[in-house]
Amino acid sequence: MRLPSLLRRQSPTPTRRRRRSTGLRTALAAVLAAVPATLLLSVSGAAVEPAGLDDPAKKEIAMRLVSSAENSSLDWRAQFDYIEDIGDGRGYTAGIIGFCSGTHDMLELVEYYTAQEPDNPLAPYLPALRAVDGSDSHEGLDPGFTDAWVRAAQTPEFQAAQEHERDRVYFDPSVSRAKRDGLRELGQFAYYDAIVMHGASGFAAIRADARRHARTPADGGDETRYLHAFLDARVKEMKKEPAHEDTSRVDTAQRVFLNKGNLRLNTPLTWHVYGDRFHIERDPAPSVRD
């Protein structure tokens, strides 16, 4: 009997598609259960909820930051129709967050999409996706699956399905966990970026390591000190695999913001990933591309 895949993705190329490493997606709900946001006091003394990374403008920044590392581009919306086998043992990698045919999240995406739109180009490939889940096999997918993905990606329905699954599996749980830990937008982003690369169990290991060295703000600790500990643990986790040896998405991006005291992830933002320079001058409108 084929075991469920525990792998996440990592591109062997230096400038394209850095994928996450081993992680148990099935443990995500338990590890990162949705929780109420941390409450702050306003000037008037009333309890108010901070905007957080799920504010539309901040979320757009988060998507661009991740895309700079995953795709060497700020235009994450250009990735809906992306699909290729990058030779990492995870089968096809595709879409805005790198759904993989070998790691179950692509299967869940196509199942969700088909429940919404039964007559879609990918629906005929569901039996094959179930059969190859947990492997790098293309059996039953070639030669037509990649063309079907590109056709589907031209539709607003499949684009919406990709965003739905990205949020359900990765963004919403990680932001909720960060809010429970008392972290503001930069810390929320650090959690999200970690789970994108390392998966649920990898993220849990990084967080556990960080908490051995510093307390979260929710536990009475200093936010900056805890985030340095988290980024230290993240770098340590990345260096366990040769494909993760370049840690610039931490060292010359997140660590730069942290050293500047930019815990709210306020613009303008300038950072470097894999030697490339990126800049966001002002909070973007979520529906506008640069």
How far are the Cα atoms of 53, 101, 204, 264, 274 from residue 199, in angstroms, in the given order?
Answer: 19, 15, 9, 24, 21
- Which of these is catalytic: 54, 60, 85, 88? 88
Whether 49 is catalytic is: no
Whether 117 is catalytic is: no
Q: Is 280:74 a contact under the CB 8 Å cutoff?
A: yes
Which residues, including other chains, have CB under 8 Å from residue 250's CB and lie 6 or more apart? Answer: 231, 234, 235, 238
- Which of these is catalytic: 54, 55, 60, 70? 70
Tokens 């040896």 sit at which residue? 245
Residues assigned a catalytic role = 70, 88
